[in-house]
C-alpha cells in the first residue's frame, strides 16, 4: 500500500524549508511554484524511489483503494508522459513477469509526444482523438483492455471555468475511447476538475459502468480542485436505445 511521505521532524529536529528568492525577470507565481516543488515531500520521495514525477503516488493511492491494477491486467495509459503512471502499472500488473506464479500483464502508454522508454511498457506516440485510434490500441494490445486510465489535463488558460470545461471535454473523449477498447468488467480512471460541468460525464459513466466514484488521493495537493473519477464494472457495448435506458450505478 502506498504511504504518504513521513514527517521526519521530532525531538532534536526541525523541518527545514527551502526558500526561493524571486529573481529578476522571474514572475512571483513561478517563484511560488519552484518553492512548492522544492518543499513537496512527494517530489522528494519520487526522486528517491525512481518515479518520474509525484503523480505516480496518485495512481498508487487510487489503486490501493479500488484494486484494478492486478497481475495480468492489460492497461492503457492515455497522455502517459512523463511516465510515472506507467511505471506504477508495470509493477502492479507484473508486466515484466518478475512475480513468480502471477499472470503477466501489459502496459500500453500513449502520448502526443515521445516518451523515454520504460522497462515493461509499450510506448506509442499517438493522438488518441485521431480516427481509428481505438483500433490501433486494440491491435497493440492484442485484444481489449482491462483498464483505461488518464491523468491528462488541458493546457491552463488561467481562467478557472474555462480550464474546467476543457478538462471535462478531454475526459469525455477519453471515456469514449474507453467504451471502444474496454473489456466487459473493465475500469476507467480519469482526472477531472471540480466545477459543475462534470455532471453529464457522471451520468454517461453511470449508464456504462456498475459503479462510479469520485476520489481525491492524499497525493493530490489540497489547494488543487482536481479529483479522479473511478468507474468500475464496465457493462460492455450495447445499442443506443439500451444505453439510454440503462440504470445508473451508485455514486460515492
Q: Catalytic residues, which ones?
A: 191
CA 68 – CA 84 distance, rounded (Å): 17
Q: Confirm or deny that 223 is annotated as ligand binding.
A: no
Sign of torsion, CA 232 235 241 246?
A: negative
Distance, CA of 249 to CA of 223 (rounded, Å): 30
> What values do phi and psi take at 190, rounded to 5?
-150, 150
Is 84 labeled as ligand-binding? Answer: no
Instruction: Please give the Cα distance from 238 to 99 (Å, whole number).
Output: 37
Judge whether 15 is annotated as a binding position.
no
The H-or-E segment that residue 135 falls in is helix 133-141
Measured distance CA(225)–CA(204) in Å, rounded: 22
CB 149 within 8 A of CB 155: no
Bridge partners (DSSP) listed for residue 111: 125
Question: Is 151 labelled as part of a ligand binding site?
Answer: yes
d(CA 20, CA 212): 42
Q: ∠234-190-45 over CA atoms, to 5°?
A: 125
127 is in an annotated binding site: yes
Rounded Cα distance, 240 and 113, in Å? 35
Which one, of 197, 207, 247, 200, lies nearest residue 231 by Cα?
207
Asked if 20 and 59 touch (Cβ cutoff 8 Å), the reply is no
Annotated binding residues for S-adenosyl-L-methionine, as ranges?
83, 85, 111, 127, 151
Annotated binding residues, as ranges?
83, 85, 111, 127, 151
Amino acid at each position: 500500500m502506498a504511504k504518504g511521505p513521513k514527517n521526519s521532524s521530532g525531538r532534536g529536529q526541525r523541518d527545514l524549508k527551502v526558500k526561493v528568492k524571486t529573481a529578476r525577470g522571474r514572475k512571483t507565481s513561478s517563484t511560488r511554484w519552484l518553492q512548492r516543488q522544492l518543499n513537496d515531500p512527494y517530489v522528494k520521495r519520487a526522486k528517491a524511489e525512481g518515479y518520474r514525477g509525484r503523480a505516480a503516488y496518485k495512481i498508487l493511492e487510487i489503486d490501493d483503494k479500488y484494486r484494478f491494477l492486478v497481475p495480468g491486467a492489460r492497461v492503457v495509459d492515455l497522455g502517459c508522459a512523463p511516465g510515472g503512471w506507467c511505471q506504477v502499472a508495470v509493477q502492479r500488473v507484473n508486466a515484466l513477469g518478475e512475480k513468480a506464479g502471477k499472470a503477466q500483464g501489459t502496459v500500453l502508454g500513449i502520448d502526443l509526444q515521445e516518451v523515454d522508454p520504460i522497462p515493461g511498457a509499450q510506448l506509442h506516440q499517438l493522438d488518441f482523438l485521431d480516427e481509428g485510434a481505438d483500433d490501433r490500441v486494440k491491435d497493440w494490445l492484442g485484444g481489449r483492455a482491462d483498464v483505461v486510465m488518464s491523468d491528462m489535463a488541458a493546457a491552463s488558460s488561467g481562467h478557472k471555468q474555462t480550464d474546467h470545461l476543457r478538462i471535462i471535454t478531454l475526459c469525455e473523449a477519453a471515456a469514449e475511447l474507453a467504451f471502444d477498447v474496454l473489456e466487459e468488467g473493465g475500469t476507467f480512471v480519469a482526472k477531472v476538475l471540480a466545477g459543475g460541468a462534470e455532471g453529464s460525464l457522471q451520468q454517461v459513466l453511470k449508464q456504462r459502468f456498475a459503479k462510479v466514484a469520485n476520489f481525491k488521493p492524499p497525493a493530490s495537493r489540497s489547494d488543487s480542485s482536481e479529483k479522479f473519477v473511478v468507474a468500475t464494472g464496465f457493462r460492455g457495448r450495447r445499442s443506443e436505445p439500451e444505453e439510454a435506458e440503462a440504470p445508473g450505478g451508485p455514486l460515492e
